[in-house]
Amino acid sequence: MNISEKRRLFLKGSVTAGTLGVAVSAGLITPTTVMAKWAESAFLADKTEDAIKNLFGSNNAENSSAVTINAPEVAENGAVVPVTVESSLKGIESIAIFSQNNARPLTCSYDFLDSNVSGFVSTRIKVGKSGDLTAVVKAGGKLYSAKTPVKVTLGGCG
């Protein structure tokens, strides 16, 4: 990339940033209109059952072998615990992961626009204290779940 191309790229970026700044200051774009919707009551719930009910509208999730949650039995560092949730269910709408003994049990929730997706989520979560991790999968309008215990030895969020 020569100096002229770099200058053009810089000018285009500057003009774009300036235009965006004017639009925000004029009130044409506000943070509330560009932010994703989030389930505030579910994320602020103190108990796993309340968080599930606030997120899905019901806490009647049935245990299912079609949902598996993989996490280490012993997490050396509770600040970054790798978790994978897989499901062979058809028509998956969302997947959520809860940590029973966290101050706020709902750690993450994923909504899928296409119901033909593969039921797979892999992430890292913070686990405050030893306890069960619960994965809840909404598929076909029903809730399915799986649990696995995780022992935290260092650095949780509790």
At 33, is the pLDDT very low, low, confident or very high (cuts 50, 70, 90)? low
For residue 23, pLDDT beyond 80: no
pLDDT of residue 40: 87
Q: Are 48 and 102 in contact (CB under 8 A)?
A: no
- Find the mean pLDDT for residues 133-147: 95
Q: Are 119 and 90 in contact (CB under 8 A)?
A: no
Written as six digits, the tokens of 98 are: 């809860």
Length of the chain measured in residues: 158
Spatial distance between the Cα atoms of 108 and 98, rounded to a whole number of angstroms: 7
* Ranges of each domain in the chain: 3-34, 40-152
Of the options 3.30.1490.20, 3.40.50.11820, 3.10.620.30, 2.60.40.2470, the CATH number for the domain spanning 40-152 = 2.60.40.2470
Spatial distance between the Cα atoms of 115 and 67, rounded to a whole number of angstroms: 16
Q: Are 96 and 112 in contact (CB under 8 A)?
A: no
pLDDT of residue 108: 93
Q: What does pLDDT average to over the chain?
A: 87
Q: Are 78 and 128 in contact (CB under 8 A)?
A: yes
Q: Which has more pLDDT, 29 or 46?
A: 46
Spatial distance between the Cα atoms of 21 and 75, rounded to a whole number of angstroms: 44
Task: Report the candidate in 52, 93, 86, 92 with the shortest Cα–Cα distance to residue 66.
Answer: 86
At 77, is the pLDDT very low, low, confident or very high (cuts 50, 70, 90)? confident
For residue 157, pLDDT beyond 60: no
